Every structure is written in structure tokens, then in C-alpha cells.
Amino acid sequence: MRMHRVTPIVLLGLGLAIGTGCSRTAAPAASQRFHVDIATPGAAAESGRLLLFAEDAASAEAENKGGAVKAVDVDPLAPGKVSVAAREVSRLAPGQGVDIDADAMAFPGPLAALPPGDYYVQAVLDTDHSYNYSGRDGGDLVSDVVKLHLPANATTTLKLTTTLPARDPWALPASATQATRDALPEARHHTEDLDYVSPALSAFWGRPIHMRGFVLLPPGYDANSATRYPVVYLTHGFGGGLNHFAAGIANTWLSMSKGEMPPMIWVYLDESSATGTHEFADSVNNGPWGQALTEELIPQLESRYHMDANVSGRFLNGHSSGGWATLWLQTRYPKVFGGTWSTSPDPSDFHDFTGVDLYTPQANMYRKADGTAYPLIRDNGKVLATFEQFARMEGVLGSYGGQIASFEWVFSPRGADGRPQPMFDRDTGNVDPTIVSYWRDHFDIAQRLQTQWPQLKPDLDGKIHLIVGTADTFYLDGSAHHLKTVLDDLHAQSDIRFLPGKTHFDLYASGGDRTALLKQIAWEMYAVARPQSNLKRAAP
């Protein structure tokens, strides 16, 4: 799961026209058709996934407080509020255009089934098939927002007028504080780009594969000094990437410069890929990312920077999918890292995969044994979305980059078609026990600990730190409880904390400090690396 834009999954077949999760229904009218063209004469032909979005006008205007509606897009926290239709386009040229049947492949149902009324609609051409992961991104073509009455008796024409620019990796989100904005220039001055071509990954893919990120150096770092610093390898959650590190880098620099965090080197690792997040796992589908990190990139970084090259000086931190990645790296490579502080990690025990016990006979991802739906997202005790709604929505958005599809690219065996084998049937929700067995044997962290603890204990005992909220938005506290039971039964030294009332998105905040937990974690790491140090945290 991810910290920012949330979108778990899918690889649904063509021809979906289902209304799961839609509260507005009406008798189907004539098929709703739209014609989409590129507005600029002479522009190059494009290809990709053509998406059409429609939202009830009154709802959209209320959200914008009466202002202009500038965009119509799906809301992962409210599936069904915005309708989306899709089709693949192999060639879209100016003046020729293509038609899209808004009923053939649509979520939450065919547009013809929408109640009559006014709607805002917008078309987007997802040129690199990344919508399920990053939403609208650089290179995508977007139309103006148009208000129209549905059902429409004639084909509606939409013009793609804008090509979105590439995102600036140093652009801060609108929510960034003024202190973060003020700290960014100096933080950038102490940050270096990381771009390493991995021999192992390049051999796997048959082309150069880059490992990318940033290296933040602490205040007082001097390349000519003999001083060496503990290192934190941090990676992001689902939906993150190079464009999402700026605020974290600025805040960490500011905290170190004020003495609120100890002086350490922070390596921000990009774990995004065309398939979702590779999670630094050694996968038959994504390649040997864990091997590349531990055997290639880390030695290269330690030869370049004044890093503490001891096990006790290397730490891991990540949230959500990044939490799973760092928990996996620590348990898979216990001789490399001195501890992980993994927060709200994706499921570490597949007896609770966002609420579903994958090992139950006749397990189903959509429905419990009593027929009720499995929830996926909650807020203040209210269910906002079900697993099935997300599976079906992301099937329309595209085949690549969704959250559960991303899990399959990491966890599943490769099929005869070269793609990972699906863990469950996207139409029925039925779980494939053969694929689950492969998941268990290769990537169930609790299972690995339970079966290999005698070998792992000398290098791993005391190194697992897991922190999650009891009200986690994606129910990830359930899996953490299972993992804690396994570790407790093994009499392992572990640190698993459940923060009362905290969700997936406010776990790090305390009072008015959005990064309070990270500061605490940094000092806990530093105590491991420098147990004799007299350095203390400065008062805020």
C-alpha cells in the first residue's frame, strides 16, 4: 500500500460492465459513445490507454465549492463516485481520432446506466500505461473538462488539448509547511543523485537497468575527514518514487541541522517500476533487486561516501510497501543490516492478507464465507471501499502497476505467457491454492521466520522493529499481530508496536510535528550504531 495516492490492482479481462459498489442505478439506455481526437494539427500520433471519466455535476461542483471543475478523476477512497471507461489505442492521430464505447469496459458500470442528469467528463490518454501507479503523469494527453447531459443521443467529441509535463522531483506538495520550503534549498545542496547501473539486473533484463535515488549527507560532512556516519536506507510506499522524496529530504536535513535527529547519511531508494513496486525482492518476474542492492549498490556507495560499513551501522526504514520491502530485506539479508524500522508494512503473514486468510480452503478475495464483502479501506470505523471494488476499478484503469498486480509481479511464479500467474481469479475472487503455496514458500515473512529461525536467530534476533496503527486504513495491523505471535512463540527479541487510533496516514505525526516518529526512530538507530555516544536529542 502507499502513503499518498492509493490504488490497489488488477488484470481484468475485456468487456466488464458491472456495477459493484455503485449506489446510483438506472435502466440501461442506448450505448454511450465518445469520439476522442488530438487537438493540435500535425502533432505526432500517440498510443496508450484511453480513459474517459464522468462525475455527477452537482457532486463535482460541491467539491470545488462552486469554482471551476478543472479535473475529473477517480477517487480511490470513494470508488463509484466517478465513473471511468477505457479502451486500448494503438494509434491516435490528429484529425482521425478514435471512438470509445463508454459501456464496453467501464467501472462501476456502463455510463448508459447512470441516472439522467448533468455530468462533467474528461478524457485522458495514458501513454505509458502508468495510471494505476502514478495517475496522470508526464507525457499523458488530457482534454478540457466538459459539462454535458447524459444520456446523450449523439456521439460526444472530446479534444486532447494538453500534454502534461514531466514532474519536477524537487517540487514540494501543496501540504508542505513553510519550514520545509525554507529548508529545501540547503537540503538540495547536501543531496547527491544516485544513478547506478546494476550488472545483475541488467543481465536479467537484457538491457541496462538503473537503480536510482538520492543520498543526503549530514551537516558537517567532510569528504576529507575520517569521520564515518551510520546509514539509513529508506524506501517509499506504493505510488512513490523519485518525485516524492523532496519533502522528506528537506525535513530530515532540517531536523539534523537543528539537532533533533542525529547526524547520519540517508539513502533514498526508488523502488518503483513499470510493474508497481519491486520491493527489493529477488523475484523471478522483476529480477534480483535484493541481490543488486546488497552485493552491488551498497558496496559501491560505501566506497564513495564516508559510510559506516559495519552491520551495526546500516539500517532500514520504509512505510507501507516500503515497510514490507525493508522488513523483507532485514529478514532475507540479516548479515547485511543492523535493524529495520518498518512502519505499517504490507502483509507479512499471509494468514491475514488485508483481512483474507489466503491459506483457508476455498479462500476468496472478494467474499467471506458468509457472503459479505471483504473491506479494504476504512476511516474512523467506516468502510470506504471493498477489495472487489478496487480490483474491478483497476481492471479498467489498466493491466500494469496496480497494487495487487504489483504483489503478483513480486510474489508469483512466472506463467507460460511471461507474466506472473494471478493469485486469484479477477472475475470470481477465488484464490488459486497452488499460487498461494508458492507465495508461502518464497515470500511469507512469518513463514520464513517460523521455519528458519534456528539459522536466522544469531544474525536477526533483536533487529526487527515494526510500528503500525490500530486503526490502519488498510487493515495492516491484523497481519502485524500474526507476525508478533510467531515471533513471541519463537521467543525472539523483537519490537512490534501498535499505536492506538493511528491510521496509515498519520502514524508519523504527534501533536503538531508530522515527523515525530521518524525522529524517534533515527535516535533508536543511532543508539545501536553509537552506543557509547553522549550525543543527545536537542529540545524542539
- Kindly list the domain boundaries of the chain, sorted by start residue: 33-163, 179-349+445-529, 375-440
Local structure of 486: helix, strand or coil: helix
pLDDT of 17 reads 29
pLDDT of 1 reads 54
| Distances 339 to 35, 230, 287, 527 between C-alpha atoms, Å | 55, 12, 24, 11
327: left (phi > 0), else alpha (psi -120 to 50), else beta? alpha
pLDDT of 298 reads 98
| Distances 329 to 228, 230, 288 between C-alpha atoms, Å | 23, 18, 12
Question: How many Cα atoms sit within 13 Å of 326 on the Cβ side?
Answer: 34
Cα dihedral across residues 217, 221, 222, 225: positive or negative: negative
Cis (ω within 30 of 0) for the bond into 458? no
Fold held by 179-349+445-529: Rossmann fold (3.40.50)
Give the other-Cβ count within 10 Å of 155's Cβ: 11
pLDDT of 519 reads 98
CA 183 to chain CA centroid, nearest Å: 26
pLDDT of 6 reads 39
pTM across the whole model: 0.93
Give the other-Cβ count within 10 Å of 537's Cβ: 15
Give the other-Cβ count within 10 Å of 362's Cβ: 8
Residue 270 burial class via C-beta count within 10 angstroms: exposed 0-12, middle 13-18, buried 19 and up: buried
Beta-bridged to residue 149, according to DSSP, are 118
Q: Cβ distance 89 to 127 under 8 Å?
A: no
User: Is beta strand 156-163 parallel, antiparallel or unpaired with respect to 210-216?
Assistant: unpaired
Residue 67 burial class via C-beta count within 10 angstroms: exposed 0-12, middle 13-18, buried 19 and up: exposed
Of residues 211, 179, 206, 207, the one with CA closest to residue 194? 211
Q: Cβ distance 145 to 55 under 8 Å?
A: no
Estimate the crossing angle of helix 403-411 against helix 433-443, to 10 degrees. Answer: 70
Q: Give the pLDDT means over successive 10-residue stretches in the chain (540 positions).
A: 39 28 42 92 95 96 91 88 96 95 93 94 96 94 96 92 95 95 98 98 98 98 95 97 97 98 98 96 98 98 97 98 98 98 98 97 97 95 94 91 93 96 97 98 98 98 98 97 98 98 97 96 98 88
pLDDT of 14 reads 24
